[in-house]
Structure formats: structure tokens, C-alpha cells
Chains A and B, each alone.
Chain A
Amino acid sequence: MNLLASEGSQPQALLALEDGTCFYGRACGAMGEAFGEVVFNTSMVGYQEIVTDPSYAGQIVTLTYPQVGNYGVSQEALQSDGTALRGLVVRDMCRTPSNWQSVGSFPAFLRDHGVVAIEGVDTRALTLRIRSAGAMRAAISTVDLSPESLVARVAASPVISAHNFVADVSPREERVIPALSDALRARKEAGRPALRVVAYDCGEKRGIEEGLAAVGCEVVAVPFDTPAARVRSLEPDGVFFSNGPGDPRQVTQTARAALDLLGTVPVFGICLGNQIMAMATGADIEKLPFGHHGGNEPVMNLLTRKVEITAQNHNYGLVFDSMGPLVPELSGGEAAHVRDLRHWVERGIAPVVQTPRLGRVRLTHVNLNDGTPEGIQFLDLPAFSVQYHPEACPGPHDARYLFQAFVRLMDMWREGGDGASVSHDYLSIDVREGRPHHAEA
């Protein structure tokens, strides 16, 4: 809100970055201090989904769209019961929202949830700084307004990779999310039974649970450190590894469970789940300079050659060439890895690697902006995963088909009974079929 239009005076706030850059602004959330890793998100809407996304634990999020809070907050937009991020940086915060679904203002929501937030910051300048210097430690304070002091304290704060944030956001208890009755009815009419999915909840977004429920899955969400034996005892049709915050290398126990479960049951992973499944194969994980956070990342499905516009939120990613050597006969005759995976887009080939533990894995999805891997499919066992967010929330719905693909995989598995008979075409769904467009959606 603009200084000249605000009636009361807003307390000053300071944003300080590890590299010494400082921005003065005004407080627009809870009072206090927040230390975390500063990243930017380029989605133009969906601020409430972003702040309630558990994957942002440990981070200070900068929204690149300048005017935030325009349509208020609603129950429907929540991605979890609370907020997990450390702080929020915006250019201009709206205190007088307007939308039929709004039940309150966004700054009030932030205050109620204890999120420290700052407005009046040149968020574009900040974004360009992060783009060139990479994601870095930062702090927002309404208490310590001395740049020297705050920068020094930022420099002394822990780095994000030092802590297991998944343990903070993963629930302690198991819980059950029922399938949507419409979807169940449709499955029944098609002569198919209800499906049970056990989801490793590492900070699972509500949108994912809704996505699974909408295709007829009952979801049993379990804590991130649940042993594989417990999962088996729930007799799932499929296992899901969710999104979550921080460095995946902090959640080795989940990766161990994944290794245990892969091959015995259909598995699907999103974001952190994708990284965990890659770690199970023995692959390396890398940290991207400033990650992908936004709703406009183009990803090509190499199997259909269709581009989907995807929602993304990750700082870490798997290193495709670390998964194993290429299988030339399944990779267009090529044996040498290339770093920029857009090579495979140009060649029109979905290359396959031989992993040391889990058989052959195919690269199925590639980010067209920077050539990073976005999705893999296990060829010798029923599993696939993607780095991005098919549930969107916020973002485009193009990748919703992946929930369908998971159901197809589980159905094939049920009907076929073993890995050898599962065909690999379950991922070959046209984006257009997956996109909900009917008025009731």
C-alpha cells in the first residue's frame, strides 16, 4: 500500500542479503525477523497457494508480480493448514481485496500465520540480483533496521542444506483422504475397483491429494520416515512420493524406503519425490543456481512430443548423466551423455540409461528453457516421476494428465501382475486430453 494513501503509519522493515545488498521497505505481515534462503517466484497470481506450500519451508519468497493480495484469501486456495515459508517480499500489498471467494485480506492472513513480510521493495531489482548471484541467505527484519548488523547476522545464519526441513513439515500421523465419489462412480461403471495410494507426505500440497482423489484414489498420507514394511501392510495399489522442502539429501530414509518399494508396487513421484526416486537409483542431486519457481515453464513430453506449460517450485534437481550410461540401442545410437537435454528434444528421442540398481530408466520430460531433466520413467519396473507440479496450484493445468497416467499404471499392474507385462505407453497421454475444460471443473 502506498505511503500517501495509508492512514496509519506502517513500521519500517529491512531486507538484507548475504551479499550485502539491502532493501528498505515497510512491514506488511507479522512483526519480527525471518532468516532463510531468498528465492523468487514468477507466478502472477496464486500468492496464497505459494505461502501455504510446505515446499517453501526455510525460504523467503519474492513475488515478481508487483501487486499482491488483490483477490484476498479463501479456504479453497490453501495448500496446507498453515504456512511453512520464512518470509515474503512484495512490491505492493493490497489491503482492500475484491473477489467473491475472498474471506479476508492477504496481509491479515500473513499476520495471523506469523509470516514476516516486507513491501515497497524493488522486487525486480531483487530478482535480477538473485538471477545473477543465485539463491542466497537473507533476512527480513522489522526489529533490526541496521544494514550492517542484519547483513552480518545473515552471514552467520545456517545454510538451507544443513537442516532437514521435511521433518518439520511432514505429519506425525497417518491420515486418509477419500477418493471423490464421482471418480469412484466412473471407475465402477468402467468395471474398475477403487485404488488405494500410500503417499509419503514430505510436505504434500493439498492440490496433489485433490488430484489423486479426482482420479479415484483413496490417499493414505504417511510420515516421511515410514518404513516400507508399514506401507506394504497397507496393501496399496500404488505408492506416491510427494513434494517437500529443502535439500533431498537430508531425507535418506525416504530414499531407502523408495529403493525398497520400487519394483514391488507402482510408484509415482512429484518434485522432491522425483529426486528421492532418482536418489534410490544412485543418481546425484545438484542444486540449481536459483531454481525454477513459477507457472510458465515449458516442458516437453518426449513420448508425445507435446509441450506442457508447467508449475514448478524447486531448487534441486537430479543429474541425468549420473544415473548411468546411455543404452545406445534405445537412445538413437548415442552413447555419450550431453549436458543440455534439449539435444534429445531436437533429436526426437527419449534416451534410456542403465542404472546400477533399478534397471533401465528413460528420460521422458525435458525443460525447454534450460535443458534440465523434468521427468523419468523406469522401464523395468512400474514407476515414473516428474520434477514439476501436475497439480499446479498455482499454475496451468496442462500436466494434470499425469494423475491419469498413474491410474493407468496401477490398473495395468493390477491386471498384469508383474513388471514384464506392463507396457510403457501409460505416460503417452496428450496434454489436451488431460486438461480439464468442462464447466464443472
Chain B
Amino acid sequence: MPRRDDLHKILILGSGPIVIGQACEFDYSGTQACQALRRAGYEVVLVNSNPATIMTDPETADRTYVEPITADTVTSVIERERPDALLPNMGGQTALNCAIALGEAGVLERFDVEVIGCDLDSIRVGEDRELFAAAMRDIGLEVAASGFAHTLDEARAIADDLGYPVVIRPSFTLGGAGGGIAHSKRELDQIASQGLALSPTTEVLVEQSIEGWKEIEMEVMRDAAGNGIVICSIENLDPMGVHTGDSITVAPAQTLSDDELQRLRNYSLACLERVGVATGGSNVQFAVNPTDGRVIVIEMNPRVSRSSALASKATGFPIAKAAALLAVGYTLDEIVNDITRVTPACFEPSLDYCVVKVPRFTFEKFKGTSEVLTTRMKSVGEVMAIGCTFEEALQKALRSLEDGHTGLGADGTATFDEERFDELVALPTPERIFYVAEALRRGWSVRRVAKATGIDPWYLHRIADIVAAEATIHRLGLDGMDRDHLLAAKQLGFSDAQIGWLCGCKEEVVRAVRKVLGVIPQVKTIDTCAGEFAAQTNYHYLTYEDGGATEHVEAARPRAIILSAGPNRIGQGIEFDYCCVHAAYALHDKGYETVMVNCNPETVSTDYDTSDRLYFEPLTFEDVMNVVEIEQPEGVIVTLGGQTPIKLARLLEEAGVPLMGTGSDAIDLAEDRDRFSALLDHLEVAYPPSSVAATTEEAQRVARSVGYPLIVRPSYVLGGRGMAIVYGPDELASYMAEAARVTPDHPVYLDAFLEDAIELDVDALCDGTSCYVGAVLEHIEECGIHSGDSACCYPPFSLSDTLVQNVRDITHRLALACGIRGLLNVQFAVKDEQIFVIELNPRASRTVPFSSKASGVPLAKLAARVMAGETLASLPVPPEEREASYYAVKEAVMPWARFPGSDVRLGPEMKSTGEVMGVGASFPVAYAKTREAIDYEMPAEGTVFISVRDADKRAIAPVAFSLAQMGYRILATRGTAKTLRAAGIACEVTKRVGEGHPNVHDVLSAGGISFIINTPHGHDSHGDGALLRSEAASRGITNVTTLSGATALLQSLAVLRGGRLSVCALQDLAQQSSGRD
């Protein structure tokens, strides 16, 4: 079936902001879809609220709406654009849900929009537990048996029916609280009665236990002709019980025989047929009993997913691109395999290497929450590594995580909790893999570890081999190892750093010896077909082989290596990848052979289409140097990928590698507080009083001279890791005790904290002789809230032109004085009309994508051109000072609900996972759109609970007054109520939690509160406030923790009363701003 000519304009929905469980893999898939459909001649309309995506670049789609993905907004877009079809399976669950809502509201029918790529009924079958179970039984497949119980007797009856053990899952409790596995009637009675009590609906699900079974995923595609193919099998190293997003996973499956795999293949294809997936990619998950091979279907997702992104990167088969083409009528045999270009996409990739994915966690940011991994996903990112063997890939993946490990231990980084050692081997946590290795090191048998963990013995034997090799390397020493030994060590994935640690010598020495002996990595190619056909793309990984056969092809054009950002984590996410992708585009256009290095499978940068050459490798010094030595680049770009490549700048320069753009001395100048302060003094630019301390005593001394409150942080961190505001000596002492562990080599900075100052973010470009300020962003939340967690607005809405001009001037002077060549970001605080410089980042910042989209100036692309030697004068940029007839707001998205037990509040340490953008004619309109985009409840009526700290009491009155005017009831604690009544605002008083019942927590739990304004005092993180914030987060109730946030919220509530907001395409924005001169 060829391309459908009856369709012309196609609407694609993105997935919105990055949240846990739905991250930038949907930017990768959505971008592929947009590009593929446009290449096929269709006009593409896109809706996505996430500005940090490549898909929302004005060049990616024909019409780009950075608007909330809600039925209302998409209806407006449909009204305006009148698309022929809607492709909803590229934007994760968000897009599917929106499509269903549009269907149910009759919008699709009214505007005659055809859903392509999936069928709304099949989505329902895929999602509804009962419908899915029935469908699977229809085709003879087993699902985990279960039943809902409302009484203990019912639970007993179901358990008797299923047979023990059973899993008990209480409905609607926070983080699955009250659940567990019952192995006996006695345990059932205990767990089920507790679960029933905790469940608000007095309901528990009693389910057959398949914990400990193998978890296997099949990535499947189907076309309209009924052809079905399996792209990849993925095996979870962690058995059933840990969310696949939180599991270490391996592709292809390692422990299944052909017979077992083919059965799963047959089942997956049958599952797609039965559920009714019309076309596209799906993911089917199975549990396989390791003792008898029995198979149970867990679930299927009728859309591209995180796993399909991983499978695409693991195999070289672009699932999303193919899915987009299948949706418009092509069949699999009509699509050409991108990599071979002579064979069709209708085949099943064969891998001749092993791929390991390891999730990246950030539990350290959410103190108080449990680190035990469950069926609810908690990781914020992932790395993928490719090696010839599982052992090599695993160790490469672990050093890609960038959390200090240089492999699976043997690097001096391990600390083990001796008291809980046995327990931590058994419990699935982010650290478990290291405990498993350590257990084997300590002489546990594979059998014993397998029994404790449920991990398949095959994996444990491989880890045991790594551990055995550690001992051999240690015994032989560097002198005792010949070429074959070193080669064998590298084939097991040991880094030079690990070998050095085991042999008692430096990494550099290992590297030097290795090169002398000729143990150097070879370039291999990901080609989808295990070498059967020649690859036409340069998608590579490095591995160690005897014989020196390399697939590296000399490039005619000069090479530029771009180091991207590694795994997504809080503080370093998709925004940096975005900048690297732009650099790849710009430098390719300038005539370079662009070479991308990255290890994050979710991103656009690791699409082999993005750069001329892609090396899927860890971003460590060793691995980057390998690529450098192979490619011999004209330059390496380290300033676009966030802190990850910045950390390598000095080492690379010392190794004689040419950096493109800002050099390591300029980086050091900006990051070294003493040097930077001296520079600011020299330039006569104000900054908050600050100092450095290496010990607690020193810190206390500094604090006395600078004065409290202080903002304290370790040096060289991103995302405010370990940053805090301290209000007195006791807090400082306890901070210092913990800070020592964050970065032992670096001291702690103590800055005077400017309370209630307005914070500004400035993104600018500098070519060494001139500077251009791309955007000045005004933060909504005041100073002290991490800039990544604060909402901000372009252009500034409350500052005078003169002040903004001063900010630009200071930025110019700083950029030139530091010797920046490329992007820089400066954070300012404005207090009482005085401008303070908080910090300068000599690199692309998190706000570059937003600044670029809001201002219409593609900063990252321009930066790449500057780094490649162009001057700003020669670049096409609009004047810095120009009038914009619209406002663009960026708001952060917080992951509170995933981390029960941690304090739900904004602070100097960044905790958000993603961001959304809203555009409107006024600030409140733009801000309101961001609220909608994040899917916060914006109740138009009901009760508002207000409790503010003393410092905010004066300012709360006007807010409360407006709320009362809008018809909200106001509930307040006694202190706040006193202030409100004094201002003549009627309100009710409620008890604090400690004051008996009924108190505010009771009201909240009973659903009596619509939203909360609760500004906490500095050190109150364990009191009433924390409890309320946590409860609100779990119930999805809006909770504002800053006064400025409350004001903005109030304004947007007023706007939303005015009805549906109008929508605006990015492509039209450019026309709305004009130069002033």
C-alpha cells in the first residue's frame, strides 16, 4: 500500500514536559516523525509545550504550537489549522490521553480529523486491565490472575484461588503504601487488613505473584498490510518487581533459547493483532518463569515508548520514523532500511554486540524518600553502552553514569553498609549492582546471590568473571600483564582508571603502557544486520579486538567533535543535548564532518541522522580521547553539553586536544570564585559578599563576617547540587558536616543571601571582540530558589529599560573580560535597583532553548558558528534591544509525587525534571498556559488554604483580597488569619496539625481544599508545612511555596476565567517582534 494522497496536513502531539517516566525519548521520536512526514511531502502541525525539544524548533514542523497538550488547546489548534489527520502515538501517554479526550468530546468528528497510527478503541484495550486480560485469554495467552477485594474474607478467597504467594496492592495509596507479598494466610491477613485500612476506597488488588520471574520486552512493529516484525528483545537484569525504567536492561535477551524467544515473538505479534494496533511500534512485556519457561503477558503499549527509543538506538532501526511512515499508508517492505539503503525496513535487526542500559537516579535530591526500587519508576535518566560482550557493555554503562564510578567497582569509590550488607544485596536499589559484585568478591557463590536477588545466574556468572579478572589484574600488576592480558582486561570493559587502581598506578600510565603494547580500541559499526550488508551510516562504538580490524573511514572534511551531556539528571537534561544537536546542524552546514559523542539513548543527539558520525561512548576522559585519537578533529566542543564535558576541558587541553570556543582558562576564571571575584572587583561590578571555607571552623568565621542568611554550596556543581540556605550557626555546622562528602577535593562557597531580590538569567554570545545578549529572563520566584526551578519570563515584565540595559552592559564587559568564545550565561540579582552578579557560566545554560524560542534567535547554532571562527558582526541577529509584543514564560515541572517522604518545596537545590513554555499577549496569559501545560489543577472555586511566614504577612493581604473577590473561601492558620482579618478579609481559622483535630491536614485529606499558599520559613522542613506539602503533592493539589508564585498564580486564575486562551504558532511569533531602531 503506497503513501496516502488523501491526507495533506497532519497534526502531531508531543509529550509535554520531561517528567519521570516520560522524558526526551519522545522528542527523539516526535522529531523523527515530523521530519519523516515532511520529507514524504506532508504539512506537519505540532503541539508540544516543552521548549527544550528539537521537535519544537520552528524548522522541525511547518506549524509549531508551543501550547498545553490539553483537549481545549488542541481543539483551538485544530480549529485554526484544520488538519486532515492526527498522529497521537509519538507523544507518550500524554498524547494518547489527549487524543482520547478529543475523540470523546467529538472534536475529531466535528472537524473531520482522522486518527492515524493507532485506533482509539485499541488504546482502550491496551490500557484497561480487564479488557486486556480478556483479549489475551482470547488468543490463549496467560495474564497474571488477580481480583479486587473489599473485605478480608474476599482477599482470602482470592488468594486461595490464586495460590500463594500473592501480591497485595492497596488502591490509591501513596506510593503503593500498605502493599506487599504474602506467602501465607497469616501474612495475607496482616498485609491485606493494613492495605484495606489505608486505601481510601477500602480496596486491595490481590494478584498472583510473579516476582523473581524474568522480565522480557519485545519491541514490535506492524503495518497496515498485516506484516509484523520484532525489532529487538530486551531482557531486564533485575527480575519482575522493578519497573523496567528502573531496571538494568540488556539487548538482545541473553538467557532465552531460540524456542523461548520465538514463542515470545509469536505471542507479541498475536498480541498486536488482537489488541488491534493498526500500524506502528508497540512494546509488549512478558514475565517468564525461570524454572519452567511459563509465560505471562504483563502489558502492551500501543505506541512508541522509552523502550522503543532504546531499541532504536540499540539496533539502528529508527522505529519512530518507520512508524510515522506506516501511519500514512506505507508498508514495511516499501520503506528502505536507512543504514544499508539497499534492503527494506521489513526485516528483523541482527545485533553482533551487546547493549546495556542503566538507569540514572537522583535520590540524593529527595532526602527522606525510600531508595528501594518498585514497580513505580523513579529514575530520571539513563545511559546505554555498547560492547562486544555483556561484561564490556555493563562496565562501560556504569562509567557512563557519571556518578563517580569508573566501572563495576575496583576503583576505590565503593562504600558498603556493613550492617545491612546482606539485605542490600537482596533489595533492589540503585546501588544493588555494586553490592552484587561485592558479594561475589567476598566469596558468595553465584547460587547464593541468585537466590537472594532473583537475578539470572548467567548475569551473575559474567559479573563473577569480572570480579575474578579484578583479582588476576591485581595479582599480575601492570608490569606482569602482557599484551594479551591487557587486551583481555579491556575486553571485559575495565577502564584505564580501574586497571590503574588495581595495579596501584595512575590512569595515564595504564593508557601509555596500553598504547605501547598496541592495545587500542577498534571502531565498529551499528548496521542492523550483523555485517551482512555494507552500512552507509557512521554509527559507531569502540571495542577491543585482536587483529586491528577497524571500520573507521577517513573523512575528507575537517572534523568537529561535539561532546554532549550524558545521562539526563536533575540539573542537566535535554536542554544541553538540544544545544549539541544545534551545533551539529550548524557545523555540518559550515562544511565540517560533525562527530557526536554521547551515551544517552533517549536523545536526539544520539540519532545517527543528527551528526555525520556518532560514537555511542561514555563521556570520560579515556573514552573521549579514544574518539579524538581516531578522528583527529580540528576542534572539540566542550561548552554545550553542560557540566559533563566542561569537566573534561582542562584534561583535554593538557593532552593537546584543540578546544573549539571558550578555552579551559576562561572556564576556570569563571568557575574559580577567587579569580572571578577579583575580576568583578576589577570591573567594578557588584556581587553578594562571599567567601570560601574548607572547614567548619573557617565557615563559622566567614559567616560572622558576611552575615546570615547565607547561601552555601560546594564548588563545581550543576543544578545546585548540595546547595542550601542557612539561617544560623547550627544549620551551617550540620551543612558542613554533610558537604564534606559531596566533593571532598573542593571547598564550600558561602555567599550572602539576598532575600527578596529579583533574579535574572542572561544568555549571551561572545566572539572575543564583541558580545551579543540573546535574552534577559526575569525570574518569577525570588532569589534563593534555584534558577532551574523558578519560572521566568521573556522579556522582563517588571524592570525598567535602563536597568535591563545595565544588565546587558555588564554582561558584555564580563564576557569580553573572561575571554568567552561561544555561549555564556550570567545570573543576576536585583535588589533595591542595585544589580549584583551571582555567577557566570562560561557555557550553554539550561535556558538556551527557551531563550532561543522566546527571542527567535537560534543561540546554540550561532554559538557553534562563533566557535568555528565566525564573528558576531557577520551573523544575522536582530538588535538586542527590541520590543516584543508577546510574553513567553517558562515554568519548571516538579517530580514530588514520585518521591513520597521528601520535602515538597522549592529551594536553592534544583529538583525539577523538566519545563514548559507558554506564550501570550500578557504575562498572566503566558503564565496561565504553563499551569495548564503542567496539568496542575486550577480550580475555579472552592477553598484556599493560606499560611505564610512572618516576612510575607504584609504582602499576602492583596493576594488574599483578590482571591476573596474571585469568590474563593479562605482558610488560614491563626497567625495568618489575624493579618487577613486586620486587612478586612473574611477567613476561617483552622488548627495546625499539632493543635488537635480537626486540623488543616484533616480538611485537606477530606478533600476540602482546592489549593494552598504556604510559604515556609527557611529551616522549617519537618513541621506542619512539610506534611501539608507532601499530602498536597500526593493528591495533585496545587501548592505555592513562594509569595511571588502566589501572585503569578492569582493573575493566571483571573485570566482563565476569561475562557479558552488563544493559540499562537512559533512561526508567527517572529512577525510579532520588531526592532526598535
Distance between Cα atoms of A1 and B342 in the complex (Å): 36
Classify the interface of chain A: helix, strand, loop or mixed. loop
Q: Is A44 an interface residue, CB under 8 A from the partner?
A: yes
Residues from chain A with a CB closer than 8 A to the CB of B254 are 67, 70
Question: Do A437 and B267 have beta carbons less than 8 Å apart?
Answer: yes
Determine if B717 is an interface residue (Cβ-Cβ < 8 Å). Answer: no
Chain B residues in 8 Å Cβ range of A100: 290-293
Minimum CB distance partner of B267 in chain A: A437
Identify which of residues 285-314 in chain B touch chain A, using a CB-to-CB cut-off of 8 Å: 290-293, 295
Smallest CB–CB gap between A138 and chain B, Å? 15
Complex contacts, B464 vs chain A, CB 8 Å:
5
Contact B348 A295 (CB under 8 A): yes
Given contacts A44-B351, A66-B388, contact A298 B291 (CB under 8 A): no
Query: Are A125 and B266 also in contact (CB < 8 A) when A67-B389, A393-B258 are?
Result: no
Which partner residue on chain A sits nearest B531 by CB separation?
Answer: A127
When the two chains form their complex, are residues B389 and A42 in contact, meaning their CB atoms are under 8 A apart? no
Could you say which of B141, B257, B292 contacts A71, with CB atoms under 8 Å apart?
A: B257
| A309 touches which of B258, B342, B347 (Cβ 8 Å) | B347
Is A43's beta carbon under 8 Å from chain B?
yes
Is A45 in contact with B258, judged by CB distance below 8 angstroms? Answer: yes
Residue numbers in A under 8 Å from B353 (CB-CB): 66
Contact of A23 with B546 in the complex, beta carbons under 8 Å: yes
**In the complex, which of the residues A44, A96, A125, A295 contacts B549, with contact meaning CB atoms closer than 8 Å?**
A125
Q: Which residues from A are CB-within-8-Å of B261? A: 45
Task: Provide the residues of chain B in CB contact with A74, threshold 8 Å.
Answer: 257
B349 within 8 A of A: yes
Segment touching A, from B200-208, B481-489, B560-568: B481-489
Q: Of A67, A121, A369, which one neighbours B344 at CB under 8 angstroms?
A: A369
Q: Whole-angstrom distance from the CB of B226 to the nearest CB of chain A?
A: 6
Known: A76-B259, A123-B352, A438-B139. A91 touches B227 (CB 8 A): no
List which A391-436 residues lie within 8 A (CB) of chain B. Answer: 392-397, 430-432, 435-436
For residue A70, which residues in chain B have a CB less than 8 angstroms away from its CB?
A: 254-255, 458
* A residues near B229, Cβ cutoff 8 Å: 309
Q: Do residues B388 and A432 form an inter-chain contact, with CB atoms below 8 A?
A: no
Of the candidates A120, A368, A438, the one whose C-beta lies within 8 Å of that of B333 is A368
Residue B937 interfacial (CB < 8 Å): no
A326 to chain B, nearest CB (A): 23
Chain A residues near B351: list those with CB within 8 A: 44, 65
Cα-based distance from A304 to B468 in the complex (angstroms): 55
How far does the Cβ of B294 sit from chain A's closest Cβ, in whole Å? 9
- Which listed residue, B491, B530, B534, B551, touches A64 by the CB 8 Å rule? B530
How many pairs of residues, A versus B, come closer than 8 Å at their CB atoms? Answer: 217
Whether B354 and A4, one on each chain, are in contact in the complex, defined by CB atoms closer than 8 angstroms, is no
Q: Which residues in window 528-553 of B have CB below 8 A to A?
A: 529-534, 545-547, 549, 551
Tell me, yes or no, whether A159 is within 8 Å of chain B by CB.
no
- Is B273 an interface residue when CB atoms closer than 8 A count as contact? yes
> Given contacts A2-B391, A5-B492, are A396 and B348 in contact (CB under 8 A)?
yes
Residue B456, interface by CB 8 Å: yes
A432:B350 contact, CB within 8 angstroms = no
Contact with A along B553-574 (1 / 0, CB 8 A): 0000000000000000000000
Q: Given that A4-B492, A5-B472 are contacting pairs, would A97 and B484 also be in contact in the complex, using a CB cutoff of 8 Å?
A: no
A121 to B295, CA, bound (A): 36
Cβ of B722 to closest chain A Cβ, rounded Å: 38
Known: A45-B257, A76-B259, A395-B262. A298 touches B225 (CB 8 A): no
Assess whether A44 is in contact with B252, with CB atoms less than 8 Å apart: yes
Q: Is B679 an interface residue (CB 8 A)?
A: no
**Alpha-carbon distance between A397 and B547 when the two chains are bound, in angstroms:** 38
Chain A contacts for B348, CB-based, 8 A: 295-296, 309, 396
Q: Which residues of B contact A436 (CB under 8 A)?
A: 266
Please tell me if the beta carbons of A5 and B350 are within 8 angstroms of each other in the complex. Answer: no
Closest Cβ–Cβ distance, residue B915 to chain A (whole Å): 40
Return A135 CB to nearest CB of chain B, in Å: 13
Is the beta-carbon distance between A127 and B530 smaller than 8 angstroms?
yes
Taking each of B270, B347, B530, which has the highest tally of chain A beta carbons within 10 Å of its own beta carbon? Answer: B530
Partner of A438, one of B140, B225, B489: B140
Chain B hits for A396, CB < 8 A: 230, 262, 265, 348
B255 neighbours in A (Cβ, 8 Å): 70-71, 98-99
Which residues of chain B have C-beta atoms less than 8 A from A46's C-beta? Answer: 257-258
Whether the pair A2, B388 counts as a contact (CB closer than 8 A) is no
Residue of B at shortest CB range from A294? Answer: B350
Q: B368-401 CB contact bits vs A (8 Å, 1 = yes)?
A: 0000000000000000000011110000000000
Q: B531 to A98, Cβ gap below 8 A? A: no
Residues in B whose Cβ lies below 8 Å from that of A305: 225
B336-362 CB mask vs A (1 if < 8 Å, else 0) is 000000111011111111100000000
Q: Is B276 an interface residue (CB 8 A)?
A: no
Q: How far is the CA of A23 from the CA of B488 in the complex (A)?
A: 16
B-facing mask of A357-390, CB < 8 A → 1, else 0?
0000000000011100000000000000000000
Chain A, residue nearest B263 (CB): A441
- Which residues, 80 to 100 on A, are CB-close (under 8 Å) to B? 91-92, 94, 96-100
Q: Are A2 and B225 in contact (CB under 8 A)?
A: no
Question: Within 8 Å CB of A252, what residues of B?
Answer: none
In angstroms, Cα B456 to Cα A394, docked, is 23
Is B102 interfacial (CB 8 A cutoff)? Answer: no
Bitwise, A303-322 to B at CB < 8 A (1) or not (0) is 00111010000000000000
- On whether A432 and B273 interact (CB within 8 A), knowing A100-B292, A309-B348, the answer reads yes
A345 to B534, CA, bound (A): 23
The residues of B that contact A284 with a CB separation of less than 8 Å are: none
Is B546 a contact partner of A120 (Cβ separation < 8 A)?
yes
Indicate whether A369 sits within 8 Å of B468 (C-beta atoms), given known contacts A40-B531, A437-B267. Answer: no
Task: Flag whether B507 is at the interface (Cβ < 8 A).
Answer: no
Residue of B259, B343, B350 with highest tally of chain A CB at under 10 A: B259
Q: B270-282: contact bitstring with A at CB < 8 Å (1 yes, 0 no)?
A: 1001000000000
- How far in angstroms is the closest Cβ of chain B from A88? 16
Quick one: given A96-B458, A368-B333, A392-B262, are A4 and B352 in contact (CB under 8 Å)? no
Would you call A4 and B488 a contact (CB within 8 A)?
yes
B469 interface residue, CB < 8 Å from A?
yes
Q: Give Cα A44 to B258, complex, Å.
A: 9
CA distance A437 to B139 in the complex (A): 7
User: In the complex, which residues 89-146 of chain A have their Cβ closer than 8 Å to any Cβ of chain B?
Assistant: 91-92, 94, 96-101, 120-125, 127-128, 131
- Measured CB to CB, the closest approach of chain A to B210, in angstroms, equals 15
Complex partner residue of A437 from B269, B461, B473, B485, CB under 8 angstroms: B269
Does B19 interact with chain A (Cβ within 8 Å)? Answer: no
B465 part of interface (Cβ distance < 8 Å)? yes
Evaluate contact between A23 and B547: CB separation under 8 angstroms.
yes
Let me know if A125 and B547 touch, CB within 8 A.
yes
Residues on B with C-beta less than 8 A from A432 are: 226, 228, 269, 273
- Which of A43, A49, A397 lies in contact with B266, CB distance below 8 A? A397
The CA-CA distance from A309 to B533 in the complex, in Å, is: 17
A156 near B: Cβ within 8 Å? no
With contact pairs A23-B547, A98-B458 given, residues A368 and B344 touching in the complex (Cβ less than 8 Å): yes
* Further contacts, 18 of them, CB under 8 A, given A5-B472, A124-B524, A298-B343: A2-B492, A43-B350, A45-B252, A45-B261, A49-B258, A64-B350, A66-B389, A77-B258, A123-B352, A127-B530, A128-B549, A298-B346, A307-B332, A368-B346, A392-B258, A432-B273, A437-B139, A439-B295
- Can you identify 25 A-B contacts, CB atoms within 8 angstroms? A4-B473, A4-B492, A40-B531, A45-B252, A65-B530, A67-B254, A70-B255, A77-B258, A96-B446, A98-B255, A122-B546, A123-B352, A124-B530, A127-B531, A128-B549, A295-B348, A295-B350, A296-B348, A298-B344, A306-B226, A368-B346, A397-B266, A432-B273, A438-B139, A440-B140
Which A residues form the contact surface with B (CB < 8 A)? 1-5, 23-25, 40, 42-46, 49, 64-67, 70-71, 74, 76-77, 91-92, 94, 96-101, 120-125, 127-128, 131, 294-298, 300, 305-307, 309, 345, 368-370, 392-397, 430-432, 435-441
Lowest 4 A-B CB distances belong to which pairs?
Answer: A125-B549, A437-B270, A4-B469, A394-B258
